[in-house]
Chains A and B, each alone.
Chain A
Amino acid sequence: MRIQIENLCKSFAGTPVLDQINLEMGEREFLGLLGPSGSGKTTLLRILGGLEFADAGSVRFNGRDITTLPLEDRQVGFVFQHYALFNHMRVSENVAFGLKVRPRRKRPAPGDIEKRVAELLDLVQLKDFGERFPAQLSGGQRQRVALARTLAIEPKVLLLDEPFGALDAKVRVELRRWLREVHDRTGVTTVFVTHDQDEALDLADRVAVMNQGRVEQIGTPTEIYETPKTPFVFDFLGRTNAFACQVKNGKARLGDKSIPVEGVPDGNAVAFVRPHDIVLAATAADGPSEDALLPGQAVVRFISVLGPRAAVELSHERQLVEAVVTREMLQELGLVRGGKCRIRLRLPTIFPKKEVDEEARGDKTKRHWLRLRRRGKRRTG
């Protein structure tokens, strides 16, 4: 099923939640909606499912406008964060529910329902759990039942609202691999909502990063991660170090290097660097390097070793810098707390300072809206 979303808007009690959303999805696509809480991602999903209705704009499934179509006519499957299993029904009854509530002429024969339930339980690897009640299952098993229950109605589109949000880290990783397998096998167009960037990047064909009711960027996980278009996207996808720099004639001056930049006007700019792209060096004479070397020395403030990697917190010219290095590197450099080293920046992403400041003011914009709303209320009340 192809999905086209055009200029979708939605507000709750005067506060805009979705602001001119435009998205397109292809057949069999697996799309991740990634964003912080309050970014509108769940509202968008609920509008696709028919649990909410948009104020303006349209949603099309295979070209057909379904914006105002009631949910029972959409053939959409929805998986909830907290499973929403029917606790008074056995697992098999839960899975059979969507088939049993069909009008008599569309309902499969009891034997066929039974067969289909068995197939689905097999698919979600819960073959021997049909007689149990949801309360007797673990969180991961419950979510798999929820998925089997949804797949039973053969949805054309599968929507998942933070499906792994309530599970612990290990189960979460297992389940998302497995969900990907189920998707690849059934080929149903799938949209899932998450605030976990690892999950989105790991699982989806394409990721749409949402912020304050807008889609900031949409692309493959690699595109999103390697060429983030806005400071927000860069910041949201992982830990970030920001370094002030100057752009002149299309080149950014950063440490001892001039880096050509595109689309950044001359003037103040900010270079974003991930902690694992911070390279630590003992002295400046470490040999020639592509990476920009910052002037002066940095002092190690704190080191925490996490398995094969170590997170190093440094202060450089009164700025805090986070670096992630391998444990071998740490030993090679002989770094200890209070020790000194130089910093090189690998793969900096440069944004105009104005954009970064605007992003930082995003929260203020929201407060401004609220203030306006309150003022309006006082006037009418």
Chain B
Amino acid sequence: MVDLASLSTSASAAVAESRPRPVSQLPLAEPRGVRVALIGIALLFLLLFLIIPLVAVFTEALREGVAVYFAALAEPEALAAIRLTLLTALIVVPLNVVFGIAAAWAVTKFEFPGKSFLITLIDLPFSVSPVIGGMVFVILFGLQGIFGPWVMAHELKIIFAVPGIVIATLFVTLPFVARELIPLMQQQGPTQEEAALMLGASGWQTLRRVTLPNVKWALLYGILLCNGRAIGEFGAVSVVSGHIGGLTNTMPLHVEILYNDYAFAASFAVASLLTLMALATLVLKTVLEWRTGVGSQGRPH
């Protein structure tokens, strides 16, 4: 650690002072009382708003015993909700990976008019309320909607059906992968791709052998965030789903329905499963950050 104060003293004094000083004397450190108070407040906040709710979810879920807990999860409607949630994530995440890579590649490797507008557009789902996102698709594909007659004529079901849920989730999670890739690829610049092309690689070979390996950790990180949101999305999905038990209920919707029916233990049981998925995502994310050192740098989100 560089001790700024000792730099100005004479050489002999500098030797004497090169022993580490007590923490309280570091130039940037606050007085002890202030430090304890600030750390205390931060910990209290964490306890109140993060740890207690988390514990509450699991205590409520297990309040009526392990048997009830597993029974709630094994119920047909719960299983259907789990299946639908996983199916949605399974469709949405790969699509957004493809979209994210394509968008990031276009934005960072080429110059074209309207580029900054495109970047803003990619961020739109972040700034719009998910409920409004859902409403938009009802307006577009609902019975009274703009494409409603066309959808009817082709005997398609979009709103109050699985396709609507997938589309709404796709909308909400659209920025995640692209937002992770764009800053990194901007920082890397187009030089490595230029080098690959100069060595005779085709565009596809350049993407596969040079671009993707360079961004693989950011890509994985984006996939995790996208997946987390796809599983947990409530607002947009709630608008387009129609809440048909066993058919169009995802896990978050199922939790709400059970809760409204006073089936608290069952509701919290499903909620605990969602929480576990989120925790698993967090652990993976931490591992990734540790692996890449991403967490130590400034991030846009």
A contact residues, total (Cβ < 8 Å): 23
Q: B214 at interface (Cβ–Cβ under 8 A)?
A: yes
Residues A41-73 near B (CB distance < 8 A):
49-51, 71-72
Taking a contact as CB atoms closer than 8 A, the residue among B195, B202, B205 that contacts A84 in the complex is: B195
| Chain B CB within 8 A of A255 CB | no
Task: Please state if B194 and A97 are interface contacts (CB–CB under 8 Å).
Answer: no
In the complex, which residues of chain A have a beta carbon less than 8 angstroms from the beta carbon of B198?
Answer: 49-51, 71, 76-78, 150
B172-195 vs A, Cβ < 8 Å mask (1 yes, 0 no): 000000000000000000011011
A149 within 8 A of B: yes
Q: Does B213 contact A (CB under 8 A)?
A: yes
Nearest CB of A to B219, in Å: 13
Count of CB-CB pairs between chains A and B under 8 Å? 54
Residues of B within 8 A of A49 (CB): 198
A72 to B194, CA, bound (A): 11
Instruction: Give the distance in Å from the alpha carbon of A51 to the alpha carbon of B209 in the complex.
Output: 20
Among A50, A86, A101, A150, which residue has its beta carbon within 8 angstroms of that of B192? Answer: A86
Alpha-carbon distance between A152 and B200 when the two chains are bound, in angstroms: 11
How near does chain A come to B140, taking the closest CB pair, in angstroms? 36
Question: Contact between A78 and B214 (Cβ–Cβ < 8 Å)?
Answer: no
The reply to whether A87 and B200 contact each other, CB–CB distance below 8 Å, is no
Q: CB of A82 within 8 A of chain B?
A: yes
Q: Is the CB of B214 within 8 A of A88?
A: yes
Chain A positions within 8 Å of B210 at CB level: 86
A88-B214, A150-B199, A153-B200 given as contacts; is B191 within 8 A of A101 (CB)?
no
Alpha-carbon distance A49/B194, docked complex (angstroms): 10
- Among A78, A82, A88, A101, the most chain B Cβ lie within 10 Å of the Cβ of A101
Contact between A84 and B191, CB atoms less than 8 A apart: yes
Q: Closest CB of chain B to A72's CB: distance in Å? A: 6
A225 contacts partner chain B, Cβ-Cβ < 8 Å: no
Specify which of A50, A87, A88, A101 is in contact with B199 (CB 8 Å cutoff).
Answer: A101
- Asked if A102 CB lies within 8 Å of chain B CBs, one says yes
Contact call B199/A153, Cβ cutoff below 8 A: yes
A98 at interface by CB-CB < 8 Å: yes
Tell yes or no: A133 within 8 A of B by CB. no
Select B209's contact among A78, A101, A149, A152, beta carbons within 8 Å.
A101
Residue of A nearest to B198 (CB): A78
Q: Are A80 and B199 in contact (CB-based, < 8 A)?
A: no
Chain B nearest CB, measured from A51 CB (Å) = 6
Shortest Cβ gap from A176 to chain B (Å): 21
Given contacts A86-B210, A87-B214, A88-B214, contact A101 B200 (CB under 8 A): yes
B152, CB-defined interface residue at 8 Å: no
A98 to B195, CA, bound (A): 10
Decide: B202 and A101 in contact? CB cutoff 8 A: yes
The answer to the question of B196 belonging to the interface, with a C-beta cut-off of 8 Å to chain A, is yes
Q: Chain A contacts of B201 at CB under 8 A?
A: 97-98, 101
Cβ–Cβ contact B214 & A98, under 8 A = no
Q: In whole Å, how far is B217's beta carbon from the nearest beta carbon of chain A?
A: 11
Q: Is the CB of A84 within 8 A of B200?
A: no
Contacts of B213 in A (CB 8 A): 86, 88
Give, as a whole number of angstroms, the nearest-CB distance from A349 to chain B: 40
| Chain A proximity of B208: nearest CB distance (Å) | 10
Cα distance A268–B195 when bound, in Å? 51
**Nearest chain-B residue to A82 (Cβ)?**
B191
How far does the alpha carbon of A306 sit from the alpha carbon of B181 in the complex, in Å?
51
- A81 — nearest CB in chain B belongs to which residue? B191
Contact yes or no, B200 A72, CB < 8 A: yes
Q: Which residues of B contact A85 (CB under 8 A)?
A: 195
Could you tell me which residues of chain B, from 218 to 276, have a CB within 8 Å of some CB in chain A? none
Is B197 an interface residue, CB under 8 A from the partner? yes
The reply to whether A80 and B197 contact each other, CB–CB distance below 8 Å, is: no
Given A87-B214, A101-B202, A101-B205, also A71-B197 (CB < 8 A) = yes
Q: How far is the CB of A43 from chain B (nearest CB, A)?
A: 14
B8 CB to nearest chain A CB (Å) = 29
**Residue on B with the closest CB to A51?**
B194
Q: Do the beta carbons of A84 and B197 come within 8 Å of each other? A: no
B109 to chain A, nearest CB (A): 12
Shortest CB–CB separation between residue B92 and chain A, in angstroms? Answer: 28
- Taking CB as reference atom, which chain A residue is nearest B197? A71
Contacts of B205 in A (CB 8 A): 101
Q: Which of A71, A86, A150 has the most CB of B within 10 A?
A: A86
Contact across chains for A149 and B191 when beta carbons are under 8 A apart: no
A150 to B205, CA, bound (A): 17
CA distance A50 to B194 in the complex (A): 10
| In the bound complex, CA of A111 to CA of B92 (Å) | 44
Q: Top 4 A-B pairs ranked by shortest CB distance?
A: A98-B199, A84-B195, A101-B201, A78-B198
Can you name 29 A-B pairs with beta carbons within 8 Å? A51-B194, A51-B198, A71-B198, A72-B197, A77-B198, A78-B195, A80-B191, A80-B195, A82-B191, A84-B191, A84-B192, A84-B194, A84-B195, A85-B195, A86-B213, A87-B214, A88-B213, A88-B214, A97-B199, A97-B201, A98-B199, A98-B201, A101-B199, A101-B200, A102-B200, A150-B198, A150-B199, A152-B199, A153-B200
Interface residues of A (CB under 8 A from B): 49-51, 71-72, 76-78, 80, 82, 84-88, 97-98, 101-102, 149-150, 152-153
